[in-house]
Amino acid sequence: MYYPYLRGRQNELLALRTFAELLEGDSFVFPIIEPVKENNNALKRSVYTLSEHNMHCGIVMNPQVGENEGKIIDLDNDDFFVKRESWFAVFILNSHNSKQIESIIHEKKYEGVLIVIPGSQVVDEDVVNELLSLPSVDSVVVDPSRFDIIDLGLKHNKKVVEFEEKFRARPAGKDYLHLDEEEFSQSFASYKRQGFSGFGDYTVIANEYRVGGSLPRVLVMHLTYKKSAYKIYIKHFCSHSNQEDGSNVQGKFEEAALEALSFFGSINYTGSGISMINEYIEKRAFPGLGVLKKISILHHIELVQRVLAEEL
């Protein structure tokens, strides 16, 4: 099972909704959504769409970034969320919030809880042991280097999900000009052999949370593909002209998009994301940077789904 971690912004949620609407057969994707907006309407629409297509997801109840940073999200004032039919509570564990997490789990009577332990977070082993001993905790999401926590998860018969940041972000678009492609992940091929129940990452966006942005001097599209039986690679399709400022973004998009279409045509890969890129090229329209991010995320999640379904 693949656990993509998304921050719950508009285009990230739209990518999930589109994926669910296009899904045929069983889903091998379990999204974890960290809500960064106080208004939950877009989150509700997305979770509802997932549920309509027999997909489940996790919702982070104690977000660490965005408008909800430092807050505990309470969804019990909405009849849809109260049913808890298609979503499960997720908590990010740090060095001082274990008692709070345990209290909320008991108060809300949550079941199937996921505990996320960020790779750099220092947490006491006894604290983790106490949380994982709770019957209502189902899974622990952890960096594969944390052997102590992995062992505790297996000891308590929990699902252990390996989680790493796969996308290596560069400071600026120009930094990708001479970086055609790089290895992205082997987890899809190895997680079961290593005893994990699933694997996860931040898809093709960086872990660092940023708000806003400016038109790029070099427009880059980050798209993944299966290079071999054991490896997924990520290619960086860049614009090359007019690198002095952010003008003529339509022309920059066309340069990067045509390179992408040529490559995926050469490997005979078709998918929803690639089709969307082609539609914008045919219309000679620039979709906007947010929509490009949606397309990249959708493309990647769909790719992993097809790999796990053994369609690729």
Mean pLDDT by 10 residues, the chain (312 residues): 95 97 94 95 95 96 93 90 92 92 96 92 87 96 93 96 94 92 96 96 88 82 97 96 82 96 97 97 94 97 97 92
* Assigned token pair, 182: 């790089």
**What pLDDT does 208 receive?**
80
Q: Is residue 144 part of a domain?
A: no
Residue 206 · residue 222 · CB < 8 Å = no
Q: Which among 261, 262, 239 has a CA at the least distance from the CA of 251? A: 239
- The label of the residue with tokens 């089709």 reads 275
Parent domain of 259: 167-196+204-312
Cβ–Cβ < 8 Å for 223, 167: no
Looking at the domain assignment, is residue 303 inside a domain? yes
The three-class DSSP label of residue 171 is: coil
pLDDT of residue 33: 98
Task: Give me 42's structure tokens.
Answer: 């877009």
Which residue, chain included where needed, has tokens 């490896």? 231
Q: Name the one residue in this structure whose structure tokens are 């108060």.
A: 107
Number of Cβ within 10 Å of residue 67's Cβ equals: 12
The answer as to whether 64 is a domain residue is no
Percent of residues in the chain assigned helix, strand, coil, to nearest 5: 40, 20, 45
Residue 250 lies inside a defined structural domain of this protein: yes
Would you say residue 52 lies in a domain? no
* Domain contains 300: yes
221 closest CA partner among 178, 183, 252, 265: 252
Cα torsion through 9, 202, 207, 241, rounded to 10: -80
Q: Look at residue 206 in the predicted model and tell me its pLDDT.
A: 85
Domain count, the chain: 1
Residue 214 domain-assigned (yes or no): yes
Whether 301 maps to a domain, the answer reads yes
pTM: predicted TM-score of the whole model, two decimal places: 0.95
Paired tokens of 250: 């339509």
Contacts of 126 (CB under 8 A, 6+ apart): none
